[in-house]
Amino acid sequence: MATHELEAKIQRLKDYQEICNLQGRYNHYLLSNRYDKILDMFSKKDPGVKIELADSGEYKGFEGVMTLFKILGEKYKFPGGLGLHMLMTPVVEVSKDGKTAKGMWHSFGCNTIQTENGLIAMWQSGKYDIEFVKEDGKWKYRIFKWYVIFRTPFDKGWVKRPIIGSLKHEGQPPVSPLSAPYDPTQDSKFLPLPPEPEE
C-alpha cells in the first residue's frame, strides 16, 4: 500500500472518531441543557445549515438553529426535567475528499414532560440523520434531523400510545417530509435508510 493511501485511511479513521465524538457530546450537552455548547457544534459559515427535530418544522441558517434551541430550552428546562438518549447502530460515511460526511444513529431513552396533571415519564426512540461539514479543520453539523419513532408514557407502551407530546408551536416553519412514526396498525418503513459508502 502506498504511503498516501495509508495516510488517507488513517485520516478517515480520525474523521470517523471525531464525528462520533461530536454526536456523543451533543447527547451529553442535551441532557445537561447546555444549548450554548450545542450551538458551537453547528456550522456558522455554510449557508445550507438547517435543523429539524420531529415535528418542530425545518429551521434554516444558523439563526434558525439558535431559534429552535431557544424554544427547546424554554420547553424542557424545568425542575424534574430529564432527556437521556442513548446512541446506537452508528453508520458514518466520510466523502472521499474528506470535506463532508453523513451519519445515522438510532436513539433510545427516557424523557420527562410537563402536563396539567404534573410530570409524565416517557420512553422515546428516534433516528438521527445528519450531514457534516469540515470547517476550519473541525467537523460541524450542516443538516441535522431527528425523526421520532415513538414517544410513549412508560406505563402504556408504544403499541397502546405511540406518540405523546410535540414540538409544534405557533409560528413554526413548515415541517419537511419525515419518516412516519411507529403506528401499530401499519407496516412501518422507518425511513430514511443509512448513508451508503461512496464507490
Q: What are the residue ranges spanned by the domains of the chain?
A: 3-153
Q: pLDDT, tens digit, for every residue of 77-131?
A: 889 989 899 999 999 999 999 999 999 999 999 999 988 889 999 999 999 999 9
Largest CA distance in the chain: 66
39 near 65, Cβ under 8 Å?
Answer: yes
**E strands in 19-137:** 50-53, 59-60, 83-94, 100-115, 118-135
pLDDT of residue 198: 81
Ranges of residues in the chain whose predicted pLDDT is under 50: none
pLDDT of residue 4: 80
Contacts of 126 (CB under 8 A, 6+ apart): 54, 85, 106, 107, 146, 147, 148, 149
pLDDT of residue 179: 78
pLDDT of residue 176: 83
- CATH number for region 3-153: 3.10.450.50
Task: State CA 116 to chain mean position distance.
Answer: 28
pLDDT of residue 23: 98
